[in-house]
Structure 1
Amino acid sequence: MIRKLLKKIPSPFGRPAHRRTTPAIIPPSQHALQRRQISRNAVTVVERLQQAGYQAFAVGGCVRDLLLEMDPKDYDVATSATPEQVRATFRNCRLIGRRFKLAHVYFGREIIEVATFRAGHADDDEGDLGREQSLQSESGRLLRDNVYGTLEQDAQRRDFTINALYYDVCTGNIHDYANGLQDIRNARVRLIGDPVQRYQEDPVRMLRAVRFAAKLDFEIEPHSAAPIAELAELLYDIPAARLFDEVLKLLLNGQGERTFDLLLEYDLFAPLFPDTDDAIEDNPGYTLKLVRQALRNTDDRIHQGRPVTPAFLFAALLWPALPQRTRELEEQGIPLIPAQQQATHELLAEQCRHTAIPKRFSIPLREIWDMQPRLERRNGRRADQMLEHPRFRAAYDFLLLREEAGEDTGGLGQWWTRYQDVGADERRRMIQQLSSRDPAGKRGRPRRKRKPQGGSDN
């Protein structure tokens, strides 16, 4: 299906980004980036590599973010030196990676990542330091891209123009091969090269385009945006573990709600969360409200510097797909809690085929879900036992989230909010009042009558 789809899409789909074999050299007087803004350790790495006779630049996201007056998450350096040459230059260096070696230069807790210039797959025969040739799948995806190259080739191999800016800390010049500085000024995300070909080489670039647009409050340039919806199915071929890492970057960057809306707009959400996408079609009001509220809460916590856990967010993303599975099992005669546990197992197994969720997150996710029906059972000592459960707070917050999305729980969230705030005597009264309304202590579940022992009804 995907291969047939690719043949129908014209290439080029739209106007590619302008390519240069020589860069525009932008002097310090024409941009706002200053050497003192760069990490001192990154400056040290660039200077020492240049003193050793190699080309070296600060590159990529750190240059982009500083030009936007944002704090870079980390600093990357691109150089003409091979990884072995970088290691020979720095005693505090380790080489990592098997497909393509990178050098990590350690300065206490800060790591400066140093990458050798690479050539694109179309430039294999031109690379001065070519190693293994690139390989592509039938759909056009790059399976191996391990070719050293020149600075010019490295710039054209990068995905977006805004990530292809090279800053020379010694001269203050920015080397711009693809009008990246202009795209930053115009607030747009634009691919370098033909969009269809670049997305076929690596479909994750579609997710990266959305992530940068949301994070930077940019628009995806029309020619770069045009083929995304039609090529979205290519994501089904991407390993589930890699997509999990991408989802974390997408939804835990402080702009999760905006990212979610863009994923829906470009049909990229379904390959990541197919069951939730089905739930959006079946019950859009509830599902969209719950997911957006969860993402909004996560964004707020990130902006406040408070911790967030992927387990809670994934619990919210997948929860709308759970009730239908649970009801189907209940209709087969399975009690509520076992039915939900079996539905949870099936849903997570299916999800992990698309976006692999590690056990360190799937286990607490299961516990949050398992506690939802148990929050209804409050008679006797059960309520106090629930308060002592290590996942109670997460389960309680999740209950409130469900109510915010419009789910009717019969005032369960309000009850638990009050129960946590009052003293021991008031808690006993609350349990007694609950038992007087419902002898079984279960909301909406009448006590089963026992059949008389012995004799007959006649």
Structure 2
Amino acid sequence: MISRVIDFCRRMVGGKESEPSAVIPRDEHNISRKDISDNALKVLYRLNKAGYEAYLVGGGVRDLLLGLHPKDFDIVTNAHPDDIKKLFRNCRLVGRRFRLAHILFGRDVIEVATFRGSLTDNPDAARSEEGMLLRDNAYSDSVEEDALRRDFSINALYYNIADYSIVDFAGGMQALEERRIELIGDPATRYREDPVRMLRAVRFATKLDMDIAPDTANPIRELAPLLDDIPAARLFEECLKLFMAGHGLDNFRMLADYGLLQRLFPSLAPYLDDAKARRLMELALDNTDQRVRTDQKSTPAFLFAALLWPVLDIRAQDILLESGLPSNDAYQLAMNEVLDDQCRRIAIPRRFTTTIREIWTLQLRLDKRAGRRAERLFEHPRFRAAFDFLEMRGEVEGKEIKALAQWWQQYQLEDESGRRHLVSGLFEAKGPKRRKPRKRRPRAPQTQA
């Protein structure tokens, strides 16, 4: 289907591949309105009926053309944010760098953006010294200008509600056919405008099983340090998209190859070439991917706990040697240091850092099972996450940890009587503790009265 569309595009522009812009009519593409959410269609139709241009754009169009099922549908229009708000009572305006309209249908949010304009000599556009866009309220009445402001060619495809055609301004259809991720414009300039585009290039490549075009890939390693200027809260959101959407392991490997992972997790850099540490990280990523793909519950806290465990373990050992503190105290100090350092780079919310600490703390307690300790540990709300983590550690760290994980696996399968037997078996295996003989104090010499 896409090949036929590309041939049509070439006919429309006289066969010139250097000018791929084209209008693809409804009978030349595979997008059907039945595959677009009803709420998105309501917004498109109302804008169109009010006399505005209205297009579905970006990932929604791209995924529909690829036969996928988009989660979100974004809309662009020549209506300005205040005009959109007048049309929709259920509208909320958001954003500082670029004003957006969110049309609320219960929990479903349809994002509507005004066409973006050229940044050249625009008083409403501001950049940092490195070229990063700081303010971007540059509107346009031209959909062509908006297309040139898009990041990747596969995201510059527009579905026109007026006649159900697709407009391709940047060769996006050909890029889809060739399974190629390519930036629109000069890659170095576009990355400097928004360094997060480097992360998006990786994410789209793994999600869509595509290759990053050489010109788009070449500047990444050199420009990776630009990520240091991105707000930590935004990087957390990007990490969720990278690692919690079913392609985390592939993203981890590609990010590391491009030097991007080291900017997100600076403390991991020394451990990426350590076989055991790397294996633990990749086991956790693979586990998370499997859970996401099978609709099982997953949490960033578990993944971050696994990624940062090698850093924590070594730091705690260093503190032990330096201070002579008890092991638990050394690990608690190390937890503070490791999480504080990481949160300066990626703003992990407290609800997750609390869980990370609990998973780590339980690793130190799971071998203490005598008496009622095993029962209390089993009832801990983070026991299951801590046990899963212990199992992964057993695959990497050796027989002792693996045996401990197997004991806890058996404990979970037993009834109350069986659990008591398991715990008593630990005591019998070690043998009863012998009491040390008490030293007798010498009696004071008796004196005669």
Q: Please, what TM-score do these two structures have when normalized by structure 1?
A: 0.88
- C-alpha distance in structure 1 between counterparts of 2:310 and 2:36, whole Å: 45
Matched-pair contact (CA < 8 Å) for 2:243–2:249? yes
Seen in structure 2, the aligned counterparts of structure 1 residues 154 and 176 have a Cα distance that, compared at 3 Å, is same
Structural mapping, 1:143-222, within 5 Å: 143-149=134-140, 150-222=142-214
Q: How many Å separate the matches in 1 of 2:409 and 2:350? A: 30
1:297 to 284, 287, 290: 287
Asked if the contact 1:95–1:103 (Cα under 8 Å) also holds between the matched residues in 2, the reply is: yes
CA distance in 1, matches of 2:441, 2:136: 80
Where 1:217 maps in the other structure, the secondary structure is coil
Q: Kindly indicate whether residue 273 of structure 2 is the aligned counterpart of residue 275 of structure 1.
A: no
What is the root-mean-square deviation of aligned Cα atoms in Å? 2.2
CA distance in 1, matches of 2:250, 2:66: 19
The structure 2 residue matched to 1:138, chosen from 129, 132, 146, is: 129
CA contact (8 A) 1:20 1:178 kept: no
Letter in 2 for 1:92: N
Residue 81 (1) aligns with residue 79 (2): yes
Moved more, 329-338 or 377-386: 329-338
- Contact 1:19-1:178 at 8 Å conserved across structures: no
Letter in 2 for 1:368: I
> Hey, what does 1:11 align to over in structure 2?
none
Residue range with higher mean Cα deviation, 86-95 or 370-379: 86-95
- What is residue 446 of structure 2 aligned with on the other side? none
Q: Do the aligned partners of 2:54 and 2:161 also contact (CA within 8 Å) in 1?
A: no
User: Which runs of no fewer than 5 residues in structure 2 stay unpaired?
Assistant: 1-15, 443-449
Distance 1:428 1:42, change over 3 A: closer
Tell me how far apart the structure 1 counterparts of residues 173 and 370 of structure 2 sit (CA, whole Å): 64
The corresponding residue for 2:303 is: 313
Once the two structures are superposed, what CA deviation does each residue of 1:249-297 show, in whole Å capped at 9, x if it has no partner?
111111111111111111111011111222223xx21122111111111
Bigger Cα displacement from structure 2, 193-202 vs 420-429: 420-429
SS in 1 for 2:362: helix
Q: Which has the larger radius of gyration?
A: 2
Tell me how many residue pairs correspond in the alignment. Answer: 424
| Equivalent position of 1:428 in the other structure | 420
Residue identity opposite 1:291 in structure 2:
M
Structure-2-length-normalised TM-score: 0.90
Partner residue of 2:5?
A: none
Matched, 1:109 2:107: yes
Distance in 2 (alpha carbons) for counterparts of 1:263 and 1:329: 31
Counterparts in 2 of 1:46-445, with a 5 A limit? 46-122=44-120, 124=122, 133-149=124-140, 150-281=142-273, 284-331=274-321, 332-410=323-401, 411-438=403-430
The percent of aligned pairs where both chains have the same amino acid is 50
Structure 1 pair 388–194 and aligned structure 2 pair: CA distance change class (3 A): same
Q: Which amino acid aligns with 2:179?
A: A
Which structure has more relative contact order (CA 8 Å, sep 6+)? It is 1
Instruction: Supply the AA of the counterpart residue of 1:111.
Output: V
Q: SS in structure 1 opposite 2:137?
A: coil
Q: Report the CA distance between 1:214 and its aligned residue.
A: 0.9
132-141 or 338-347: bigger deviation = 132-141
Change beyond 3 A, Cα 1:435–1:70: same
Q: Deviations over 1:384-418 (max 9, x none)?
A: 11011111111111101111234443410001111
Q: Per-residue deviation at 1:190?
A: 0.5
Moved over 4 A (4+): 18-22, 447-455
Deviation (angstroms), 1:300: 1.0
Q: Deviations over 1:32-84 (max 9, x none)?
A: 11222212221221122122111110111100111111111111110000011
CA distance in 1, matches of 2:166, 2:267: 46
The code of the aligned residue for 2:371 comes to: G
Counterpart CA distance in 2 for 1:448 and 1:263 is 57
Paired residue secondary structure (2:158): strand
Name the SS of the counterpart of 2:400 in structure 1.
coil
Partners of 1:448 and 1:86 in 2: CA distance: 81
SS of the residue 2:335 aligns to: helix
